[in-house]
Each structure stands twice: as C-alpha cells, then as structure tokens.
C-alpha cells in the first residue's frame, strides 16, 4: 500500500495451540538504498513484500509499482555482508499475465510474497477500482520466470460492495507460507466487520488460510486479528494504520507487523507483535462483537535510534554463525525522493 519446525500435519486445515516462551530481537544493522538509485536504467523501489529463498541464499522483493514507473516486477536481492549490512540488487524479473503479456498500468498492485515448496511464488494484490476496470483482491501464483501459473480462489466476502467487503487500498497486504499452508490478511477491517481504527479504538480484521487439496490451494479457514488503535498522541491527531505483514514462527505462533502514519506530525509508527491463531471464523458474517484474542508486543520500532520509514515487508533471513535466526524488514519508498528503501536486519535471541 502507498503511504526448524516439528509438527504433526493432519488432514485438512490446521490451527495452532498456545505459543510459549518470549520472542526477542536485536538490531544488527541497517542499510539504505536512496530513491535516486536506478537498476538497469529504471526506478528502483516500492518494496512491499520480501521473502528469503533459503535454498539459493537470496531475497525476493516484490514492488507494488502498478506498472507506472516500469512493468510490474519482482527483484532478487543479495546480502553481501551482514555486519555491516550491505544489500545488492542483482536481478529484476518482469511479471506476465496468463497470455504472457506484461500487466497493463493500474491493473495490479502486488503487496505480499511467499515461496511455495515447488519453488513458485505466491503474490497478493490489492483490490483495484478504476473507471474502466475493477479487480477484487487477488492471490496469484507465478513461476520464477515471472509467468502467471494460476489465480487462487478468493471468497466473495472480500469483494467491495455497498456496506461490505474490503476497503479501498486496504486489502491483501501480507503473504506467508508456513507449515503446509499459505496465509494472507486484509490490512484493515472488512466493512461488515467493524470501523477503521482510530484513537483509542481498535478494530478486527481477517486472516485467511489456504491449504492444498487436489492440486489447488483453496481457502479453508479464517481467523480474527485485533488491529491496534491508531497510535496517536491524542484524539486530534489523524492518521492511517494497518496490518502490513504476517510471518509464521517456529513455535506455531505468528508475527504481525503493524504500520501507522500520523498525518499531523508526519510520523511513522511501526510495531511488531506475536500472537496465536484462535477459532475458525470463516462462517461468521461480522466480527463487530468478537471477543479479543491475545497478542504480545515484541518491539516498538520507535525505540531504535533512527528515522523510520514506511516499513511493509518482513521475512526470516540467513542463519548467523552462532546458529541464531535473523529477521529482515524493508520499507516501501513510494518512489518518493524524500523517502528511501530501508533494510533492517535483526538477530533473534533464543
């Protein structure tokens, strides 16, 4: 949007029980790519989702450019060093529709990315409304050559209608593949699920689980997540907030990245939470009277001694020499010369 697992897999969809233990992270280093940087003579940026290819030791990073600065695309990023952190853009792959054509300007808004066991990429795309065309939020599977393989089914409840569905530019922002299932979530509440968050007012949104059956990934469960109230100083401050990324964790819990922007003070607020999935609410029409589930804050990024940016992507990263895992975060520069692509690499402390 602008602005080692040990588990018994059962037949059908799975849900997880209570997670245990604390989750702590420590910043290793940061790296910036300025918005003036060109890759192969084209603007670089719009990084909204990132995922680590553990087998090949590089990151995929999806751009949310709606084919306006260049064709819709995904980048390969190499980590040249961890401390100090140095990131290299090594390749760009242009994404193509079912007919092998580049996507027309404005027809896609890719936000999240994950890797399937077969090596294919799954991308989430926001809903799009235009005078001449409309698209509901989409989940699309691509080969690593950028060719569309298939569109995944999306339930009707997410289609924008009067009094129902996703909010404009606040739909499928996240994507993760974990323990045999893919998960995406709406960035903000469906209209039928509640109001948008405000000062002192949280809201509910939905996480959708997909599981493979007879060769196709289909939606099988949904879970409620409570998006925090707008982190404003007072009721006079206005802003925008949302769930921008999900990530499955070794103990069966999930990490959730919430990102907010306060208009009055031009301030980015980014917070990382750990939570567990609750009951299946797929057949529940509205979440307005839903009872809160627990989540625990892992980090408020304002504690870091740096100017934050529009953080949107989150992924596990390379394993450190001491055996500890890493977490990588990346910001979307919105192709704005006053912003940058900011990479933050953290060590996960056992």
Question: What is the reported pLDDT for 58?
Answer: 98
- Pairwise CA distance, residues 107 & 67, whole Å: 8
Q: What is the dihedral of CA 201, 342, 23, 232, to 10 degrees?
A: -20
Tokens of 261: 């922007």
Domain of 100: which CATH number? Answer: 2.115.10
Contact between residue 258 and residue 241 where contact means Cβ atoms under 8 Å apart: yes
Question: What is the reported pLDDT for 33?
Answer: 98
Answer whether residue 14 is part of any domain: no
- Pairwise CA distance, residues 78 & 90, whole Å: 7
Question: What is the reported pLDDT for 292?
Answer: 66
Going by C-beta distance under 8 Å and a sequence separation of 6 or more, which residues neighbour residue 254? Answer: 176, 178, 183, 246, 247, 248, 274, 275, 276, 277
For 200, half-sphere exposure in the C-beta direction (CA atoms, 13 angstrom radius) is 5
DSSP per position, 310-329? -EEEEEE-PPPTTS--EEEE
* Successive 10-residue mean pLDDT values, the chain, 350 residues: 35 38 90 98 98 97 97 98 98 96 96 97 93 90 98 95 90 96 97 94 95 92 96 94 96 96 94 95 90 87 95 98 98 97 97
Answer whether residue 8 is part of any domain: no
Q: What backbone phi and psi angles, to 5 degrees, belong to 241?
A: -145, 155
- 73, β-bridge pairs: 94
Answer whether residue 17 is part of any domain: no
- Pairwise CA distance, residues 167 & 189, whole Å: 8
Answer whether residue 172 is part of any domain: yes
Answer whether residue 6 is part of any domain: no
Question: What is the reported pLDDT for 129?
Answer: 84
Answer whether residue 56 is part of any domain: yes
Answer whether residue 4 is part of any domain: no
- Pairwise CA distance, residues 125 & 128, whole Å: 9
- Report pTM: 0.92
Answer whether residue 13 is part of any domain: no
Contact between residue 76 and residue 60 where contact means Cβ atoms under 8 Å apart: yes
Q: Which residue range forms the structural domain that includes residue 186?
A: 24-349
How many domains does one find in the chain? 1
């Amino acid at each position: 949007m602008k602005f080692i697992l040990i588990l018994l897999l059962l037949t059908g969809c799975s849900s997880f029980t209570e997670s245990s233990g604390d989750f702590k992270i420590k910043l290793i280093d940061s790296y910036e790519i300025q918005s003036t940087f060109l890759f192969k003579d084209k603007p670089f940026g719009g990084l909204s989702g990132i995922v680590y290819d553990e087998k090949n030791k590089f990151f995929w990073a999806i751009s949310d450019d709606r084919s306006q600065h260049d064709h819709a695309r995904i980048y390969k990023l190499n980590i040249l060093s961890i401390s100090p952190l140095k990131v290299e853009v090594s390749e760009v792959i242009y994404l193509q529709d079912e007919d092998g054509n580049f996507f027309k300007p404005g027809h896609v808004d890719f936000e999240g990315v994950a890797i399937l066991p077969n090596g294919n990429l799954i991308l989430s795309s926001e809903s799009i409304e235009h005078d001449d065309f409309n698209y509901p939020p989409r989940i699309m599977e691509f080969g690593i050559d950028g060719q569309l393989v298939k569109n995944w089914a999306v339930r009707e409840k997410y289609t924008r209608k009067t009094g129902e569905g996703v909010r404009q530019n606040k739909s499928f922002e996240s994507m993760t593949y974990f323990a045999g299932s893919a998960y995406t979530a709406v960035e903000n509440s469906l209209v039928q699920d509640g109001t948008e968050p405000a000062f002192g007012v949280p809201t509910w949104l939905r996480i959708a689980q997909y599981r493979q059956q007879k060769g196709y990934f289909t939606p099988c469960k949904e879970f409620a997540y409570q998006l925090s109230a707008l982190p404003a100083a007072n009721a006079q401050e206005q802003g925008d907030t949302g769930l921008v990324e999900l990530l499955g964790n070794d103990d069966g819990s999930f990490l959730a990245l919430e990102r907010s922007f306060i208009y009055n003070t031009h301030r980015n607020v980014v917070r990382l939470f750990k939570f567990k999935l609750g009951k299946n609410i797929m057949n529940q029409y509205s979440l307005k009277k839903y009872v809160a589930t627990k989540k625990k804050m892992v980090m408020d990024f304002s504690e870091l001694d740096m100017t934050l940016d529009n953080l949107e992507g989150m992924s596990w990263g390379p394993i450190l020499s001491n055996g500890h895992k890493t977490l990588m975060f990346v910001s979307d520069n919105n192709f704005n010369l006053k912003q940058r692509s900011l990479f933050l690499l953290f060590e996960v402390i056992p």
